[in-house]
Structure 1
Amino acid sequence: MRTRRLGKTGPEVSELGLGAMGMSDMYGPADETESIATIHAAIDSGITLIDTGDFYGMGHNEMLIGRALRDRNRDDVVISVKFGAQRSPAGEWLGYDASPNALKTALSYTLRRLGTDHIDVYRPARLDPNVPVEDTVGAIAEMVQAGYVRHIGLSEVGADTIRRAAAVHPIADLQIEYSLISRSVEDAILPALRELGIGVTAYGVLSRGLLSGHWSADRPHTAADFRSHSPRFQGDNLARNLELVDALREIADHKAVSVAQVAVAWVLSRGEDIVPLVGARRRDRLAESAGALSVELSEEDLGMIEKAVPVDAAAGERYAPAQMRTLDSER
């Protein structure tokens, strides 16, 4: 497993990370035994970066990871945690709170649930519209000074917010959706990150399963599944997006690899400062995505991929309208 560094100041991590959200939330039921086995398989394969959020399953995801790491060396993994999203007992989304006292309280619970004395990268899940980003970053910086946090990250914020945050404390990375069909980061955000020496952890590299090659128009999903209300998975939008997947499949078949492997390899090809997160919930899906590390994309391949899936070719926004309005990165 090769490694990449998260920005100029961040930790060195495996060039592929594991996103654990789906093991607890957002995509319907998951098997805990298989989830823990998948985390173990990831570590055994050399994956060192594990990403979670304190609101994934209202703490369940952190406790799951904590159980998975009990018999492992804590120093072998880099744990990235998002905080700030507020949820009711029923799971409803109530907004964001990234105020200093709230984040310090959230961090206290996160440390306990994970069974660790520090978080490697701590980041607000979204920009809190009621709290200046300087205040949020300044409070995390206090936790860095106290030893509870190693590095500060950001998530789904735009170039101006990134610059303001970086003026307060070094920022290791920005976590943001980046895939063949989600490329708005390339316009202003990615250039700002590279100017400042900030890395990227890219989530949604398989577009919630859309680019996995395993999705079909008749696949059932529950009301609790994010995709049941995601614009890209609805009606004509889904039909159009699956046409893009079919075009990508032709390239994958020509190279004797899977659609998912081409999609992950494309994100890997975008720069050494980008670390894709794969949201595998099962060992077989993890192994498939990890196979992308062996996929070589030539300039000819990249040209064919761009032709098959042009910029802005996706039908539908990546979130429903209410959620899109919370994204500082899309303003």
Structure 2
Amino acid sequence: MQIHHRRFGRTGWDVSEIGFGAWAIGGAWGDVSEADARQAVHAALDAGTTFIDTADVYGDGRSERIIRDVLHERGGKRPVVATKAGRRLNPHVADGYTKANIEAFIDRSRENLGVDTLDLVQLHCPPTDVYFRPQLFEGLDELVAAGKLRHYGVSVERVEEALKAIEYPNVVSVQIIYNLFRQRPAQLFFREALAKNVAVIVRVPLASGMLTGKLNAQSTFAADDHRHFNRHGEAFDVGETFSGVPYDVALEAVDALRPYVPQGATMAQFALRWILMEKAVSVVIPGAKNAAQAQANADASALAALPEETMAHARRIYDQLIAPHVHQRW
């Protein structure tokens, strides 16, 4: 099946609308073997994926190094590889976001990924104050001029951070959570991103696996899986785990959505296709722990557009069940 492509903001890149999110092959998702991780990346690329998203903290560089090795092994035309920087700071505070610190992280990622110039570096969900520090963005401009990266963007927790970030003229992309359980970005942010030709990378598209439809009240998770240790935001923003929706409420919403899954599609593919109905979205980056998951994710690109009736039902389920828990928080 042919994977469709979209323009990535004003970079001049065309990328596959389904990308590969490489958090799961780094860590915090239970045990993923090196072999499975490599096969997942290979499968995504074999399916036509041309955008990979990773970060320096995913497995302390493991994710970046696996990507490096797979791309070296394959040769040929490289996909766009985006990484993130900032979460290595300890403590993770706004004052740590200096040009010097970010440059050191970038240099480490260049080594991990085996390249002189990174395609895209994203600030990795920094504290809100960082978006009000123009000197940092000027420093990023200097690193672009120095040839260490081609472009930079931001990965945000909240819509308000996204709106502030795109006031900086050289922020080419924003990574944000948007899915059937997190619909607020479509109200204002997407319109502004389109107006400024800013690429939108959608993460957590399946709400940490909840929107695969495979979880239930008895599901358990490994001790090193964030779905076990971050259920209440103990380690990082709770919005990154099940999109911040209480587990029992999320299960109820999934059951309400099941009748609208297109015939022949999985619920995960339906959830991905729902995101792709939004024209402001440049690429969605579901994760995969193995080759089969990577292939199934890519296949969502081939689904037909969802009917207006289905979109209306999805909005109603969100308004009634989900919005009271998440809408104004992020």
TM-score w.r.t. length of structure 2: 0.86
CA displacement, residues 61-80 of structure 1 (integer Å, 9 cap, x when unaligned): 11121111112336421011
Q: Quick one: distance in 2 between partners of 1:104 and 1:82?
A: 12
Unaligned segments of structure 1, at least 5 residues: 319-328
Aligned to 1:174: 174
Provide the residue aligned with 1:257 in structure 2.
Answer: 265
Q: Counterparts of 2:191 and 2:127 in 1: how far apart (Å)?
A: 23
Q: Distance in 2 between matches of 1:72 and 1:119?
A: 19
Secondary structure of the structure 1 residue equivalent to 2:151: strand
**Greater CA deviation, 48-57 or 64-73?**
64-73
Question: In the alignment, which residue of structure 2 is the partner of 1:284?
Answer: 292
Aligned partner of 1:139 in structure 2 is 139
Would the alpha carbon gap of residues 267 and 167 (structure 1) be closer, same or farther in structure 2, given more than 3 Å must change?
closer
Matched, 1:247 2:274: no
Segments of structure 2 that go 5 or more residues without pairing to the other structure are 233-240
Whether the aligned pair in 1 keeps the contact of 2:190 and 2:280 (CA below 8 Å) is: no
Alpha-carbon spacing, 1:312–1:31, altered in 2? closer, same or farther (3 Å): farther
Taking a change above 3 Å as real, the CA distance of residues 306 and 255 of structure 1, as seen in their structure-2 partners, is farther
- What SS does the corresponding residue of 1:108 show, helix, strand or coil? helix
Identity of counterpart residues, as a percentage?
26
What does the per-residue CA deviation read over 1:30-67, in whole Å, with 9 as the maximum and x for residues that have no partner?
11101111111111111010000101111111112111
> Structure 1 residues 87, 105: closer, same or farther in 2, change over 3 A?
closer
Structure 1 contact 237–316 (Cα < 8 Å) conserved: no
Distance 1:330 1:79, change over 3 A: farther
Give the Å deviation of 1:209: 0.2
TM alignment of 1:134-213, pairs within 5 A: 134-156=134-156, 161-162=161-162, 165-213=165-213
SS at match of 2:182: coil
- Superposed displacement of residue 315, structure 1: 7.8
Whether the aligned pair in 2 keeps the contact of 1:181 and 1:311 (CA below 8 Å) is no
| CA distance in 2 between partners of 1:74 and 1:134 (Å) | 38
Give the count of matched residue pairs: 314
Partners of 1:75 and 1:223 lie apart in 2 by: 38
Normalising by structure 1, we get a TM-score of 0.85
- In structure 2, how many angstroms separate the alpha carbons of the residues matched to 1:211 and 1:154? 25
Residues of 1 paired with 2:157 and 2:134: CA distance? 13
- Check whether the contact 1:241–1:315 (CA below 8 A) recurs between aligned residues: no
Contact 2:20 2:288 in 1 (8 A): yes
Quote the residue 1:102 is aligned against. Answer: 101
Choose the corresponding residue for 1:62, options 54, 61, 64. 64
Root mean square deviation of aligned Cα = 2.7
